[in-house]
Amino acid sequence: MSTQRQDEDGAITAPPTIDWTAGPSRCEIRSGALHLWRIRTDAHGIELEHALSLLGEHQRARAARMRHLPYRERYVRAHAGLREILSRYLDAPPGSLRFDYGAAGKPALAGAVLPLSFNLTTTGDLALVGVCAGSGPSEEIGVDCELIRPRRDIEAVAQRMFAPETVHAIKAAPPPERLARFYRAWTALEADAKADGRGLFRPRPAGAQPPAVLHCIPEAGYIAAIARETLPPVSDWSTLYLLPQA
């Protein structure tokens, strides 16, 4: 599933680190291209009251139900950032965007003149949004990003969630490499499941082929995976960070 490579000694080649540039106020995207956006969800991100004003009624209600304040603020900034990013392609106010949702909750633009495929992931103080032109199964994109934290349950989770060859590779790796291999496998699994919107615990439809998956490092301490039927090399992605507009 993943296109990650191994060196002769069996070590996995490190994913490329992303260099970000400020995103323009209006965006165009050609067929086959990939735009990856970075959103800050901490206090350095969109001003909170402004972010709330960009959300739809359903999103504001959901945020109001969240009791954990830091989580609520990250949610608000991430989803406001998603709206602002999409609005730059659609030339429409962020608050005017409407979404439909798939069986597992994956959002899609409702009634947009310009067909776009997109996916949002949040972790730590960071959110990423992948955007591609077009719609339909061959255009859908899945994005996952994880803040790398030490954990003791790597082998147990791997046995439950990963293919046997992935479990073997994690167990066979030198101890310092196991965490990195685990997070690569986990982000690839999540991005794959998000690409077609089936969700993490639903099987792939019969006869469907797995997507291509590429990894990158969006920021020190994080790892991200992008999944799509076809992907340009990471060096050809447009990697943009969101400068909020008040």
Torsional class of 197: left (φ above 0), alpha (ψ -120 to 50), beta (otherwise): left
pLDDT band at 201 (very low <50, low <70, confident <90, very high): confident
5 has a pLDDT exceeding 60: no
pLDDT tens-digit series, residues 101-156: 888 889 999 988 889 999 999 999 999 999 999 888 888 999 999 999 999 899 99
Q: What is the pLDDT of residues 36-88, one digit of tens each?
A: 999 999 999 999 999 999 999 999 999 999 999 999 999 999 999 999 999 99
pLDDT at 3 over 90: no
- Is the pLDDT at 1 greater than 70? The verdict is no
Q: pLDDT category, 12, cuts 50, 70, 90?
A: low
Edge to edge, the sheet with strand 141-147 lists 141-147, 222-228, 212-216
Q: Give me the pLDDT at residue 11, please.
A: 55
DSSP code for 210: P
Domains identified in the chain and CATH numbers: 21-241 (3.90.470.20)
Q: What is the mean pLDDT of residues 194-218?
A: 90
Amino acid at 141: I
